[in-house]
Chain A
Amino acid sequence: MDQRSWFHAELEDITREIVLLAAHVTEAIPAATEALLTGDLDAAQRVIDHDDVLDDLALDIEERCYRALARQQPVASDLRALMTAIRMVAEIERSGDLVVNICKALCALRAPDLSPEIRGVLQQMGEQAVGLHRTCMDAYADGDVTLARSLDLLDDELDRLHADFLEAVVRWGEDGSVRDAIQLALIGRYYERIGDHAVNIGERVRYLIEGELPVHGSLS
């Protein structure tokens, strides 16, 4: 196999690995939400334990990218594909960490029986977060820039849900405990940040396809 063929085979393999890494996160988000809604601490612990698999996979992909970069010295779209891969791995891995944080916060809750209002918004946030994550990865896998652009609007909806959630937590906290209100506020923030990372991935996909770097603004 010549250098160029090797490189393209390697790039395809790296892309497959990234999609696999993201699939772990796509599965972990609803698992964490379900654990939250049912108060299932064993299920939460399983999500936490599984994070080591994601970390190892993320490191492995990143090192493969560096090796490919050094061996082939790619240019133009090949270089963009490799740089996109490096940046995406970090975003996906951090989303995985946030799911773990949700589960750890659940384990710290004293009274996991939440009010119907909080449960309702949590469920919507979970669905919105997994929708964002799935959409950004579909945009990457299919090279779909329209899908990548749609992420901003989806994230706005998650931000709105997050604001509703915080208000619901404050209302609930008037009768519940400060301890649990703190954990719930953190949980809301973790979902919101999963959305931010999906938007970042969408920006990387746009760079991959269009060759221009959008100015990052997902946190602003």
Chain B
Amino acid sequence: MTLVRRSFQGELDQLRLQVELMGIKVDHNLERLRVVLAVGDEVAAAAALACDDEIDAMNVSLTERCYDLLAREGPVASDLRFIVSVLRILSELERVGDLALRVVKLNPERHLWASNAVTFDILVSMGDTAVDAYRDALRAWSAQDLGLATDLATRVRAMDLHYEHLMAELLRLRGDDAVRIATATLIAGRSLERIADHAAIVGARLRYLLTGDPDHLSAEVR
């Protein structure tokens, strides 16, 4: 391996680690989301807001680094696939962060979620499932694990079952506040469902990166 090539490879390794670091920051915010969901902790909500700014800044900085590498190194084949995949995965991580923040910002409406024990339990389970799916995605990325990526992209997802269950239970709600509770719960639930969607997209993108098979790109088109 030439010196130039070795140096470029080192930059790609650095990039992979930096993406992982951004992923960990998003993970911290998902944990705060769980706290807000469970107990409505305002300190956790404020911390999530501050952390999201760091996530956004990191996204911009890493995106610029990708563009710089593309312009400077003119990568081809698997190196090009890697950088383009990083760009797409950065978007997915950033959106997961945004969705976590969206739920955190609904904290003032938490009393509505919590007012029905059945739907609230499902919502909490959806939060857990979203975090689990996201962590699988992050683990697949850090280990560049094709098996885990394939599992993420193709598994029958627990989240779909939770979402169907939530919808069924929301339809059972009765009383003066039924619609208010249903809409508030639904908006939070939908965001949690989308976090799992983005985790699956990371899996699909990783499959493309590791196999070079463009058919995996179509999994991102929903």
Binding site for B on A (CB under 8 A): 55, 58-59, 62-63, 66, 69-70, 73-76, 79-80, 83, 86-87, 90, 93-94, 97, 166, 169-170, 173-174, 178-179, 181-182, 185-186, 189, 213-220
Contact = CB atoms under 8 A, between A and B. Distances in A.
B56 A170 contact: no
25 contacts: A55-B218, A55-B221, A59-B217, A59-B218, A62-B217, A66-B80, A69-B80, A73-B70, A75-B71, A83-B70, A83-B87, A87-B91, A90-B91, A170-B179, A170-B180, A173-B178, A178-B171, A178-B179, A178-B182, A182-B167, A182-B183, A182-B186, A185-B182, A185-B183, A219-B95
Interface string B106-140: 00000000000000000000000000000000000
B26 interface: no
Contact of B101 (A74, A179, A220): A220
Contacts of A185: 182-183, 186-187
A170 B179 CA distance: 6
A199 B149 CA distance: 31
B183 A219 contact: no
A6 B71 CA distance: 18
Contacts of A217: 56
B71 A69 contact: no
Given A90-B91, A215-B59, 13 more contacts: A55-B218, A55-B221, A69-B84, A73-B70, A80-B67, A166-B183, A174-B179, A178-B178, A178-B182, A182-B170, A186-B186, A219-B95, A219-B99
A216 B59 contact: yes
**Which secondary structure dominates chain B's binding surface?**
helix
Contacts of B88: 90
A220 B52 contact: yes
Contacts of B77: 70
Contact of B60 (A83, A213, A219): A213
Interface of B: 52-53, 56-57, 59-60, 63-64, 67, 70-71, 74, 76-77, 80, 84, 87-88, 91, 94-95, 98-99, 101-102, 167, 170-171, 173-174, 176, 178-180, 182-183, 186-187, 190, 214, 217-218, 220-222
A69 B70 contact: yes
Contact of B76 (A70, A80, A186): A70
A185 B94 CA distance: 25
Given A59-B217, A69-B80, A219-B98, A79 B67 contact: yes
B49 to A, nearest CB: 8
A93 B63 CA distance: 21
Contacts of B102: 219
B70 A220 contact: no
A140 B40 CA distance: 42
Contacts of A214: 60
A69 B87 CA distance: 14
Given A79-B71, A90-B91, A178-B173, A215 B182 contact: no
A63 B101 contact: no
Given A178-B179, A182-B167, A58 B221 contact: yes
Given A79-B67, A97-B222, A169 B179 contact: yes
Given A178-B182, A182-B170, A220-B98, A215 B60 contact: yes
B187 A215 contact: no
Contacts of B98: 216, 218-220
Contact of A178 (B59, B170, B187): B170
A97 B180 CA distance: 27
Contact of B64 (A58, A178, A213, A216): A213
Contacts of B101: 219-220
Contacts of A75: 71
